[in-house]
Amino acid sequence: MQYSDRMSLLGTEGAFEVLARCKQLEARGKQIIHMEIGEPDFDTPANISEAAIKAIRDGHTHYSPSAGVPEARAVVAEYLSKTRGTKVAPENVVIAPGVKPLVFNAILAIVNPGDEVIVPNPGYPAYESVVSFIGAKPVPMHLREENNFRFVVDELKALVTPKTRMVVINSPQNPTGGVLTPENLEAVYALAEEHDLWIMADEIYSRIIYDTEFASIASIPGALKRTILMDGMSKTYAMTGWRLGYAAVPKPLAEHLAKLNINVFSCNNTFIQYGLMEALTGPQNDVDKMVAKFKKRRDVIVAGLNKIDRVSCLTPLGAFYAFANITKTGRKCGELADMILNEYGVACLAGTAFGEFGEGYLRFSYANSIDNINKALALVEKALAEV
Ligand code: PLP
């Protein structure tokens, strides 16, 4: 049977591929410590689950408006207005089954074949994959370790051409844990104004941040008129399997995104949006506890990685990933990641799962217990001693 040509342009996501490989190994009886997937190991807070269960009991089990339940859009608008220090109206909000479909649909709605989109590299692979899929060109913005995994402003400026349509930023960042400063955001905004570019701001880790304050490009006056501001429930509220994300966008784009929702899945799952409302308006102490735990784990894993011969790791300021530099081993990161999984039972991701500039790194998700992190560190040390 034949498939469309465009399918060869669509990438995948290393984390899900490695997860599938782990499941096969586990089915054969191998013990694996999971540090590959970007998913909090905590349960969704009970008040959120209860709100969704109540919504089912109350009969919220029917189709709902495609951009989101109106009350949920209003709650998101208020939450974003408060947390980003700006004014977001409910009609600017679109809800979707995760941030990932918003990345897909917003690129689909804005970018033409032949356009260029500047994407962080190493960076979350969906951006590059979707841009290629629609026949546009992903242009890598190199995030360098020596610059704390932030872009270099002059390098970013040099990437803009008459074909550039959009710049993607992600802070706190996957896979490096890097966090952009207000000055970085000002620079992106100034560039976008100068060249009439869209800004896709993926802020899914906005609340998982340590030792520093979160800054959003949306708080720059005027930025929202050219920004797709995205956040979601997966990471902050340990709701990965619920599939819930949201964006604040200019109204005409909200209408395009709603139309894409209609065409692809009609509407979001209705009752889970009641969970979203409870999450964003209810008590936040579970989030605070989770972030405090992540911070402890971060300190353990970063200290442990830095003790391993020929490995170094910057202290990430956000998200829950340690991006360890293994260039001194002289080995390719893909080869090392495979060896560490197959022979030592620790699943991590090769830096190249996040683009060409990820070579020389391994990403460890520290959404795991301190006990498992310590076990994994000992195994990684043993593995690297052999190369
Ligand atoms: N954006 C980034 C930077 C991510 O790391 C992830 C998940 O790993 C997502 C988006 C996708 O999140 P969601 O579960 O909301 O689709």
CB 347, CB 32: distance < 8 Å: yes
Residue with CA nearest ligand 1 atom 12: 99
Q: Which tens digit of pLDDT belongs to each residue from 91-115? A: 999 999 999 999 999 999 999 999 9
204 Cβ inside 6 Å of ligand 1: yes
Q: What is the mean pLDDT of residues 119-133?
A: 97
C-alpha distances (whole Å) from 119 to each of 132, 191, 210, 361 are 11, 15, 24, 19
Q: How far is the CA of 48 from the centre of ligand 1 (A)?
A: 20
Q: What pLDDT band is residue 187 in, cutting at 50, 70 and 90? A: very high
The 10 Å Cβ neighbour count of residue 311 is 20
Q: What's the confidence (pLDDT) of residue 313?
A: 98
Atom of ligand 1 nearest to the CA of 15: 8
Q: What is the mean pLDDT of residues 173-195?
A: 98
Q: What pLDDT band is residue 123 in, cutting at 50, 70 and 90? A: very high
Name the residue among 84, 58, 80 with its Cα closest to residue 245.
80
Q: What's the confidence (pLDDT) of residue 11?
A: 82
> Is the model's pTM score more than 0.85?
yes
349 Cβ inside 6 Å of ligand 1: no
Measured CA angle at 78 (ends 72, 38), to 5 deg = 70
Q: What's the confidence (pLDDT) of residue 37?
A: 87
Cα separation, 297 vs 371, in Å, equals: 10
Pocket test for ligand 1, best of 95, 103, 143, 235 (most atoms within 8 A of CB): 235
Residue reference for tokens 């032949």: 114
Q: What pLDDT band is residue 341 in, cutting at 50, 70 and 90? A: very high
Mean pLDDT of the chain: 97
The 10 Å Cβ neighbour count of residue 238 is 22
CB 123, CB 356: distance < 8 Å: no
At residue 200, what are phi and psi to the nearest 5 degrees?
-100, 115
Cα separation, 324 vs 176, in Å, equals: 9
DSSP 8-state symbol, 313: E
Q: What's the confidence (pLDDT) of residue 111?
A: 98
Q: How far is the CA of 100 from the centre of ligand 1 (A)?
A: 6
Q: What's the confidence (pLDDT) of residue 86?
A: 95
